[in-house]
Amino acid sequence: MRKMPDLPKLGIGLVWWPELDALCSPAEGLVQVIEAEPETFWLPRTAPKQGFTSRLPGALAHLPQRKLLHGVGAPFGGPAAQTPAHRATLAADIRALRPAWISDHLSFDRFTTETDDGARDIFTGFFLPPAQNTACVARAAAHIGARRENTGLPVAFETPVSYLPPLPGELPDGAFAAAVSEAADCGILLDLHNLLCNERNGRQSVQDFCAAIPLDRVWEIHLAGGAAERGFWLDAHSGVAEPALMDILAGLVPKLPSLGAIVFEIVPEFVAATGLRAIADMLGRLNDIWSTRPASRPGQARGPRAAPRMKAADPIPPALWESLLGGAVTGRAGPVPPPELAAWMHQAEAPLALYKYLAQEGRASALVTSVPRTIRLLLHSLGEMQTRGILAQFWREAAPAYTSAEEGRAFLDFIVCAGDAMPDLCAAIAVDRAWLACG
């Protein structure tokens, strides 16, 4: 019999951005816990090996609520271990904010490719779903265990979204999540909108997923709004949770004895269009649903649970899976898929094209943030179509960078001053370089 972590019941929360600050006032009574994505507040120091400077503790200093940290820079589902620089910066944020638990994604964002100079690790610029097999279960469990040991905190993984068709022979979505949670002896951050996306895009249903996982391991739930794009339903974080998702939540919460928080996510640029009043109304409904959670005894022991059923053989090695997906999304030459994957690769053409589009849009957004004067001048002088042509060439020649600042520096190195054709470009580049150097 294993003892469950004695986690606090925190309540309703938001993934915090300055645009949402008005909703976080304790006087409003809507938000009891603040969650933050730490890496989005990190700035790389000028010398890459010097690590990062975090602005997160200062950004949250005025908020008295308990904190949670939800990582977006060192996911559990890939080959790469947490780097020393990442580990040190996260540790500093943890010391300052004292989160009740931490979480990260069951995804991957790096792959290895062969070059003339040997093997090279490439950043994908977008979270991609891992191979759902026994090898990835073991690897994810090892990453989660290392994170728990390094931080001294309880750790949960977020259930991933996947726009890909199911791969014949892989573990079903729920069985894969269950296997990781049992192997790592960790918590589950159940992203219900991710599950709804998976169902609508032809993967396992929300009901079947939830039936397959150990519900007593669900510590946290995420909710978000979505959007249609290219025939898929996206985890876009673009509005309030839709009624169908709220109904799923209401039916599930009474079955979750270890639930510690329900957290809403929205991308900052969608806050104004959605409206704070609409978000506040949804938060009020979430507080009502929170009150239906079951009573539980802190630290109660878990009884024995049957191990999730595993496949006899993995359908694809993780490294091959990551190279196929990573190469398709970044435009890098990847390995030739084996003949037995030919039919699946054909099915996956549209979702892989979607992932490539989303990754490129993410890179474009990073440049708007990191080198705004240069991008603004290009748009004003050349127009959107020609500017996107320049970006496309940049994306072909340069792999995605780990941070927005590094992406910006790489783009400024790529741009060549246009002289008389664009006399203000050199000045814009110089100002953006100076701004990036200041951090």
Domain boundary among 237, 268, 302: 302
CA distance 423 to 403: 29
159 in the same domain as 213: yes
Three-state SS at 252: helix
The mean pLDDT of 87-93, rounded to a whole number, is 97
In a domain, 335, yes or no: no
Task: Tell me the helix, strand and coil percentages in the chain, rounded to 5.
Answer: 50, 15, 35
382 in the same domain as 291: no
Task: Tally the domains of the chain.
Answer: 2
Q: What are phi and psi of 191, to 5 degrees?
A: -85, 100
413 in the same domain as 298: no
Count the Cβ atoms, other than its own, within 10 Å of residue 133. Answer: 23
Q: Which letter does DSSP use for residue 419 in this model? A: G
79 in the same domain as 210: yes
In a domain, 308, yes or no: no
Scan for tokens 């290009």, then name that residue.
378
In a domain, 94, yes or no: yes
pLDDT at 116 over 70: no
The mean pLDDT of 162-185, rounded to a whole number, is 97
Three-state SS at 314: coil
The mean pLDDT of 49-73, rounded to a whole number, is 94
- Are the beta carbons of 32 and 11 closer than 8 angstroms? yes
In a domain, 379, yes or no: yes
207 in the same domain as 115: yes
372 in the same domain as 295: no
When the pLDDT of each residue in the chain is averaged and rounded to a whole number, the result is 92
- Are the beta carbons of 123 and 400 closer than 8 angstroms? yes
In a domain, 309, yes or no: no
* 288-324 pLDDT, tens digit each: 999 999 986 545 545 445 555 666 578 899 999 999 9
pLDDT at 304: 47
Reference 186, options 220, 161, 160; nearest CA is 220
288 in the same domain as 217: yes
Scan for tokens 């022979």, then name that residue.
169
Domain boundary among 302, 335, 356: 302
178 in the same domain as 283: yes
pLDDT at 332: 85
In a domain, 247, yes or no: yes
Count the Cβ atoms, other than its own, within 10 Å of residue 139. Answer: 21
Taking the alpha carbons at both ends of the chain, their separation in whole angstroms is: 50
In a domain, 334, yes or no: no
Query: What is the extent of the structural domain holding 184?
Result: 2-302
Q: Are strands 33-36 and 66-70 parallel, antiparallel or unpaired?
A: parallel
Distances from the Cα of 42 to the Cα of 56, 165, 359, 421, angstroms: 7, 35, 20, 36
pLDDT band at 417 (very low <50, low <70, confident <90, very high): low
388 in the same domain as 287: no
271 in the same domain as 409: no
The mean pLDDT of 252-260, rounded to a whole number, is 98
253 in the same domain as 384: no
- Are the beta carbons of 353 and 390 closer than 8 angstroms? no
Domain boundary among 237, 269, 302: 302
The mean pLDDT of 364-391, rounded to a whole number, is 95
CA distance 343 to 323: 18
In a domain, 311, yes or no: no
pTM over 0.95: no
Q: What are phi and psi of 220, to 5 degrees?
A: -150, 150
Reference 130, options 139, 121, 122, 117; nearest CA is 139
Helix (H) or strand (E) holding 121: strand 118-128
The mean pLDDT of 77-102, rounded to a whole number, is 96
pLDDT at 306: 56
369 in the same domain as 278: no
Domain at 105, CATH number = 3.20.20.150
* 38-59 pLDDT, tens digit each: 999 999 987 655 789 999 999 9
pLDDT at 1: 40
